[in-house]
Structure 1
Amino acid sequence: MDKYALQKSVTVSGTSQCLHIAHVSTDRVWISGNKGNLILTNKTGVTLDRVTGLPEYGGGVHTVNSDSDVIYIDSHGNIIKLSTDHKVKTTVIPYTYPWTPWSVYSSPSTGDLLVGMYNTGTVTGQVHRYTNTGEHMQTIQHDNTGQGMYSDPQYITENRNEDVIVSDFGRHAVVVTDSRGRHRFTYTGPTPGSRLNPHGICTDALSHILVCDYYTYTVQIIDQDGLFLTQIETEQHGIYKPWSLSYDWDTQLHWVGSAIYNKVNIYRLINEGDDLTGELHSYMIV
């Protein structure tokens, strides 16, 4: 069984929570925290820059594209791109009533933007795919029986096979479709009847899917087909309520942030077996 070893703990200045993490590089990450703040920090926790005016609901409200631009949802529901030099803000996708963007992710393989949307009137969710310039390409909503797949798509990411992976708080599930929007599986916990309270989500070089479970206060790891593999017991390392996740493709380290502290733990997967570095030169997820 794979195990995860704590490598380092980082205290992030300028926030009291770490609600979402997106890597710019090995040494720099954007972390969204409380009061709508977005903080650029280094591995020692020093604040390098700050953006304000983001939503406060604690979802996957920002991402980083292949050009190292940060893309985020503002408090008005617009999706904004901040240039690499942090001087120019561009509205990529304007808010369109009644669908409010809950989460955003820049695909490293295609450059597309995947956006989890929420409709407060119908309490339903959708996933929309846009080009990197904001042109709408695809809507994902129903499974092959016509039933809606999403309720509250708070976090969204993509696996190496281009599966679209949603952490849906309202459904208490991780919902996975292929790139065409066809439902592949829904994960609701490691055993039948178990409960899942999902938040932050990411994938890694082995195509594992990692999700923060706010019910068991662990990070659960499943394979690309939904089979439970293991979990990280973060509480013993000072992360009592894990909420956010990111994977650094250069170092193969997993970052786990807390919902109640300004603390991030960095873990390494041990007993990996295979050398992964040869596959990482052209692929990065943030």
Structure 2
Amino acid sequence: MHPRRSAQEVLLCDLCETVPLQSHCELCNINLCVNCAGKHVSDSSKRHKVVPFLHRKSTPNYPKCPDHADKHCEIYCEKCGVPVCSTCVTSGKHKGHDISDILEKLGSKTESLQRDLEELETRIYPRYEEMGSNVETEKTELETKYGKLTTEADQQGEILHQEITAIVNQRKSAIAEMKTKHLDALNKNTKEITQKMAELKQIMSDLKSILKSNDVSLTSAYKSRNSQFRTLPPKVRVTLPSFSPQKINKDQLNEMFGSLPPLSINTEHGDTMKSAEAVSSPPVKPLLDEPRLTATIDTGYSRFLDSLYSVSCLSEDQVWTCGTNDTMKLLNLQSKLLTSIQTKSGNTPEDIAVTRDGDLVYTDYWNNTVNLIKNKQIQTVITLQGWRPGYVCCTAGNDLLVTMISDDETQSKVVRYSGSTEKQSIQFDDQGRPLYSSDNNTKYLSENKNLDICVADFTARAVVVVNQSGKLRFRYTGHPSNTEQSFHPYGITTDSQSHILTADYHNHRIHILDQDGQFLRYIHCDVVYPFGLCVDIRDNLFVAELYTAKVKKIQYL
């Protein structure tokens, strides 16, 4: 050990070796006193980095030169990209190459390592932890969720049993009633026959007495009634009913009991994957030449009081809707109201979306919040400052995408959230120009299968599509054919084929685009003022009509 470094002595400056050190040059790896530090940094031929001694970095461990065993690699060859020693530079194979100080390279490399470590610690590893925790939570909830399914099946079975028992009792009651009527008819017939038989007995007894008396008067007075009794009493004939059981159709019985779709297990790809199609392409579904209207749901909203704005699919036959009042409604295809929930603040929800777990999300523009409804309980997950939330969608990665406008209505952007944490903000293109119009008008949005983010910007009269990183891909401003009025897109959604579907409100139709913005065709199906759009897992399109307050289900693939 150097005697000046011993614990019993004061550490001295490496240059003057007389004054206690106070600083350290990380470039030259020497310790300096105050005076020597000033002289040291005055050498402008190098980019010295003098720091307080206690803040110095650890002394680098220079590698040994593979070509010169007695040398250490303290220089960096820029051309070859490797550390070298001084002999390599002056006389070896690196002679004449551009060189730099290895500590400078070490600094940049260290910064890169620090950035990697920070990303791993603060972003990547927590996401893995979160995913693992979510899987464990899902596993613990399996018993409850599948128990609920079993209970529902038992309840449906009990309902069917009750219906069948009621039908059986009705049939048995009808049989007992027919038996009573049959017996009454036979008893009436028996009574009539018995009366006739009593009369006959009396007549026969009277005839015997007349014959035995040999009385001329009685014999002369007798009048025969035999012709009266030769016509026998009417015979009652009752056709006994027979039971004709219908053959049980198991398929119809299964359908009547209720459907249970097969378990769907999909492995989703992480956020860094550019396209899910690269691993698993969905089956090709061609567009129908003539789309078909398959169901119409009357939501109960009123044209003049509570117009219909948004629709979001919970399943193939259940949709959430919202309009211009504070109530969100869950309805089935038969227009039956299944559930209704009022907003926490009493304000009108700006938009709604259904998460992958089947929970409902809504935005409250006037309250600056994004809210989650789980088990009918409302929890605020995002509260904004200086911005107001507009429209919302749930992504394949279970994030939320929210369009928002600044309080002064001069800026507009799309923000990605994981839970309540902001992950990404999309506002400008590569030239620093705003991507979206800066007002609080309608901006529905949807994430496509290729992870593009598609926004229907009503004021800009365009569908604005950016990639996952927020880089502008294209703008669609409508198709020139047969356009009666200007293109004003409202609702927007995407399907399994990466089609983009947007509502052309004024022209009463839906535009279908491919993922690159090429127009494919229109959907008409007598839609009137289409506003909100969504598709279910089978690519059925649901269209919310603003003024009729109806949701129309359309098959177009």
Give the letter for the 1:191 counterpart: P
**Residues of 2 paired with 1:187 and 1:124: CA distance?**
21
- 1:71 maps to 361
When normalised by structure 1's length, the TM-score is: 0.84
Describe the shift of the 1:240–1:142 C-alpha distance in structure 2 as closer, same or farther (beyond 3 A). Answer: same
**Residues of 2 paired with 1:78 and 1:124: CA distance?**
18
- 1:135 maps to 421
- 1:273 maps to none
- 1:170 maps to 459
Which of the pair has the greater relative contact order for Cα pairs under 8 Å at 6+ separation? 1
User: How many percent identity over aligned positions?
Assistant: 30
- 1:228 maps to 519
Pairwise CA RMSD of aligned residues? 2.0
**Residues of 2 paired with 1:146 and 1:258: CA distance?**
37
1:1-286 equivalences under 5 Å are 2-3=288-289, 4-13=291-300, 16=303, 17-53=307-343, 56=348, 61-74=351-364, 75-83=366-374, 85-86=375-376, 88-97=377-386, 99-107=387-395, 109-131=396-418, 133-151=419-437, 152=441, 154-191=443-480, 195-234=486-525, 237=526, 239-249=527-537, 251-270=538-557
1:144-201 per-position Cα deviation (integer Å, ceiling 9, x unaligned): 1111011246211100000001111121111000010000001110139x73211111
- Corresponding residue SS for 2:325: helix
Give the letter for the 1:34 counterpart: T
Which segment drifts farther, 44-53 or 161-170? 44-53
Post-superposition offset of 1:216: 1.3
Contact conserved, 1:217 with 1:242, CA < 8 A, in 2?
yes
Q: Which runs of 5+ in 2 are unaligned?
A: 1-286
Give the letter for the 1:157 counterpart: S
Post-superposition offset of 1:120: 4.7
Give the letter for the 1:119 counterpart: S
- Corresponding residue SS for 1:117: strand
Q: Structure 1 or 2: larger strand share?
A: 1
Contact conserved, 1:153 with 1:166, CA < 8 A, in 2?
no
Which segment drifts farther, 28-37 or 199-208? 28-37
Contact conserved, 1:218 with 1:232, CA < 8 A, in 2?
yes
Contact conserved, 1:172 with 1:196, CA < 8 A, in 2?
yes
Q: Which runs of 5+ in 1 are unaligned?
A: 271-286
Count of residue pairs brought into register by the alignment: 258
- Corresponding residue SS for 2:459: coil
- Corresponding residue SS for 2:424: strand
Describe the shift of the 1:154–1:189 C-alpha distance in structure 2 as closer, same or farther (beyond 3 A). Answer: same
**Residues of 2 paired with 1:191 and 1:177: CA distance?**
23
**Residues of 1 paired with 2:302 and 2:334: CA distance?**
14
Describe the shift of the 1:120–1:214 C-alpha distance in structure 2 as closer, same or farther (beyond 3 A). Answer: farther
**Residues of 1 paired with 2:475 and 2:316: CA distance?**
32
Post-superposition offset of 1:9: 1.6
1:31-60 per-position Cα deviation (integer Å, ceiling 9, x unaligned): 01122321111111111222233754x85x
Highest Rg: 1 or 2?
Answer: 2
**Residues of 2 paired with 1:32 and 1:70: CA distance?**
11
Which segment drifts farther, 137-146 or 27-36? 27-36
- Corresponding residue SS for 1:76: coil
1:190-248 per-position Cα deviation (integer Å, ceiling 9, x unaligned): 139x73211111011111101011231211111110011111124xx3x3211111101
**Residues of 2 paired with 1:64 and 1:190: CA distance?**
31
Describe the shift of the 1:46–1:14 C-alpha distance in structure 2 as closer, same or farther (beyond 3 A). Answer: farther
**Residues of 2 paired with 1:165 and 1:241: CA distance?**
21
Contact conserved, 1:125 with 1:153, CA < 8 A, in 2?
no
**Residues of 1 paired with 2:459 and 2:401: CA distance?**
19
